[in-house]
């Protein structure tokens, strides 16, 4: 676990890493030759087990381990899903191995229900599911679309880009899976879907109405906001007067912004018809010395999950506590999906040098310099965000059964 001095340390190091990484990609070189349960890898990481249909609350689904499973995972392939952006298609972008696709999250005390795309579509019949946040959240949106779309016949599905939104529709179910770009959740000068940069941040800490109009009435809202806050330990923001720009400590600004979000929820959400989820922070793996003492690299060329206890300095416990405090004070129910710890182990699954920067794939020269160009923030797909969605699905499934 980090201490306050480590929070300050991560914020001092984040600018260099984040600027070269926020729009960049991942990887490591390794041969992909594990094709059966007979592989020696199972002797170390454990064998896949049959799935049991258990409710997520029957145990803490966020505590467990990653199990090697190249028989039932991945849940889809890059080739089968035309909706993935180049930032996440690591195989297509030249990554030579696919190990990162074959890990299944196994909670300690139960099994997650096997993801059933037809069941999810039935749950979402006549409804809207919206993911709200930054590019990490966009990856979770794309993951969910890919997990569902293969069971929908051609001509019965559509995909539209209406900035700052992306909308996937399953016509026969009158259901939609949507994404809304809002890196700070509250309003900011970074709210344009494509014309934005982390180098210039100005956040309106008490303004959310413009975004809120697009969230009004949505049946399932899934929020996330973290990495854009962490570029520097301070941030320019307004609170009250739009003309009164001040420099705030990030943690202070984050709390004010999320109090604004909480107020919007209490005044705008109908808890009888709408469900709200909040995703905890997606971890980064920017410095290999955190899991391999004495080294000085990053997530590039990493092939396996971290074993044993681990918490990286990229995940701020101070921010986590702020979220926890605000959610506890809310008058409506918001489900907190704490995916941070399970994702902390996955140093192997980032896009590394197999993504894009400023809309273009990395050049050969850039790929040869992973220390400066590896993206250890975003995730390859298929990959870790699929597990986040399996956990989300488990909660949606339980809520659906409770209603019945």
- Gyration radius (Cα) of the chain, Å: 20
Answer yes or no: 225 catalytic.
Answer: no
Q: Which of 20, 39, 135, 207 is catalytic?
A: 135
Measure the CA–CA gap between 239 and 187, rounded to whole angstroms. 11
Measure the CA–CA gap between 138 and 48, rounded to whole angstroms. 29
Q: Which of 191, 206, 348, 375 is catalytic?
A: 375
CA 179-226-25 angle, 5° bins = 75
**Cβ distance 178 to 161 under 8 Å?**
no
Q: In this structure, what token pair is assigned to residue 288?
A: 């290999």
**Cβ distance 182 to 191 under 8 Å?**
yes
The dihedral over CA atoms of 102, 107, 108, 113, expressed in degrees to the nearest 10, equals -110
CB atoms within 10 A of CB 147: 24
Q: Which of 352, 378, 386, 395 is catalytic?
A: 378
Measure the CA–CA gap between 354 and 89, rounded to whole angstroms. 8
Answer yes or no: 77 catalytic.
Answer: no
Q: What are phi and psi of 168, to 5 degrees?
A: -105, 130
Answer yes or no: 160 catalytic.
Answer: no
Work out whether the CA dihedral 118, 122, 126, 132 comes out positive or negative: negative
Q: Which residues are known catalytic residues?
A: 135, 375, 378
């Amino acid at each position: 676990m980090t201490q306050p001095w480590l929070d300050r340390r991560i914020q001092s190091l984040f600018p260099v890493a984040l600027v070269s990484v926020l729009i960049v990609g991942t990887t490591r070189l390794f041969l992909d030759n594990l094709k059966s349960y007979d592989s020696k890898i199972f002797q170390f990481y454990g064998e896949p087990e049959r799935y049991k249909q258990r409710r997520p609350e029957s145990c803490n689904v966020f505590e467990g381990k990653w199990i090697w499973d190249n028989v039932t995972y991945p849940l889809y392939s890059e080739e089968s899903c035309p909706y993935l952006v180049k930032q996440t298609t690591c195989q297509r972008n030249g990554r030579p191995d696919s190990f990162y696709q074959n890990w299944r999250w196994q909670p300690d005390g139960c099994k997650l229900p096997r993801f059933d795309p037809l069941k999810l579509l039935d749950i979402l019949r006549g409804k809207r599911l919206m993911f709200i946040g930054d590019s990490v959240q966009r990856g979770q949106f794309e993951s969910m679309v890919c997990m569902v779309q293969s069971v929908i016949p051609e001509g019965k599905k559509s995909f539209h880009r209406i900035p700052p939104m992306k909308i996937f529709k399953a016509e026969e179910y009158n259901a939609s899976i949507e994404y809304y770009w809002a890196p700070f959740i509250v309003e900011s000068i970074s709210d344009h879907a494509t014309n934005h940069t982390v180098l210039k941040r100005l956040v309106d800490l008490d303004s959310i109405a413009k975004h809120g109009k697009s969230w009004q009435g949505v049946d399932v809202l899934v929020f996330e906001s973290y990495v854009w806050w962490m570029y520097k330990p301070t941030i320019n923001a307004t609170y009250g007067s739009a003309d009164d720009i001040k420099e705030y400590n990030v943690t202070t600004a984050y709390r004010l912004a999320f109090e604004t979000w909480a107020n919007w929820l209490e005044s705008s959400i109908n808890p009888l018809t709408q469900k709200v989820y909040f995703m905890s922070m997606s971890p980064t793996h920017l410095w290999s010395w955190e899991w391999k003492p004495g080294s000085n690299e990053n997530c590039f060329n990493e092939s396996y999950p971290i074993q044993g206890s681990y918490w990286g300095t990229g995940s701020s416990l101070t921010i986590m506590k702020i979220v926890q405090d605000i959610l506890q004070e809310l008058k409506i129910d918001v489900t907190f999906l704490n995916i941070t710890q399970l994702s902390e182990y996955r140093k192997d699954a980032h896009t590394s040098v197999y993504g894009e920067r400023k809309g273009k794939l990395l050049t050969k020269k850039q790929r040869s310099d992973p220390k400066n160009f590896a993206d250890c923030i975003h995730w390859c797909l298929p990959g870790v965000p699929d597990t986040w969605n399996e956990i989300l699905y488990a909660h949606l499934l339980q809520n659906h059964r409770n209603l019945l």
